[in-house]
Amino acid sequence: MGKKKLVVLTGAGISAESGFETFRDAGGLWEKYSVEDVCTPAGFRRDPDFVNGFYNGLRRQLLSAVPNAGHTTLAAMERDFDIDVITQNVDDLHERAGSSRVLHLHGELMKVCSSRDKDDPRYIRTLPASAPEVCPGELCADGSPLRPWIVFFGESVPQLDAAAERVRQADAFAVIGSSLNVYPAAGLVRYVPEGAPAFLIDPKEVDVPAFLPVRVIRDVASTGVPRLWEALKEIC
């Protein structure tokens, strides 16, 4: 018999323990920067150098962060489960921890793209750790200003259908470090198959949709994910 499929939706809470600054929490980035200035198409058109400077700073922060036990335990769980990670995070900590399949809903911080068409695969490239910054005035190969490969507010989420299909196939489902307040990502819980065990790991109280029976593990990711592993061994 093959491994059971575990689908995991992760949010900022799993990366916070790695020292990577979150956006929505108290003291987060949206309290320091205007969303309209750094995370909208209009903001980028108005001042691309300012926007790229903001993401240059995030990349420097990311390069000094390391995966925590939440990330590494999730990767180690692939010994027992067929795991799909769907993340709202733009960092690469899941990949660096060793997770095999990671789908990024909101883009990837270390990648840049064309501002004419952010999803044109010809122009999406990964910045190396040795040169993680976009220079002022730097252009993409198509002649448009180079921009971060991030889904700005008001833009479509191109990976949403692929994520929903993965959730539909889940034998078990878990949410780690997500408030379930960010849509459309939070809507993925509606695709969890009936009868599939569902878990939520978060140290704070989270409003869980009434239609989804969830076992809550009130804990941070670094200690909550090992508890998830033990719980799944008992029921899968």
Residues 6+ apart with CB under 8 A from 78: 98, 99, 100
3-class DSSP state for residue 7? strand
Q: What is the rounded CA–CA span in Å between residue 235 and residue 141?
A: 52
Buried b (16+ CB within 10 A) or exposed e, 105-143: bbbbbbbbbbbeebeeeebbeebeeeebebeeeeebeee
Q: What is the rounded CA–CA span in Å between residue 163 and residue 145?
A: 29
Look up 104 and say whether it is catalytic: no
Which of 71, 94, 104, 106 is labelled catalytic? 106
For the stretch 190-194, contacts whose Cβ atoms lie closer than 8 Å and that sit 24 or more positions apart, written own/partner, are 191/164, 191/167, 192/167, 193/168, 193/169
| Residues with a known catalytic role | 106
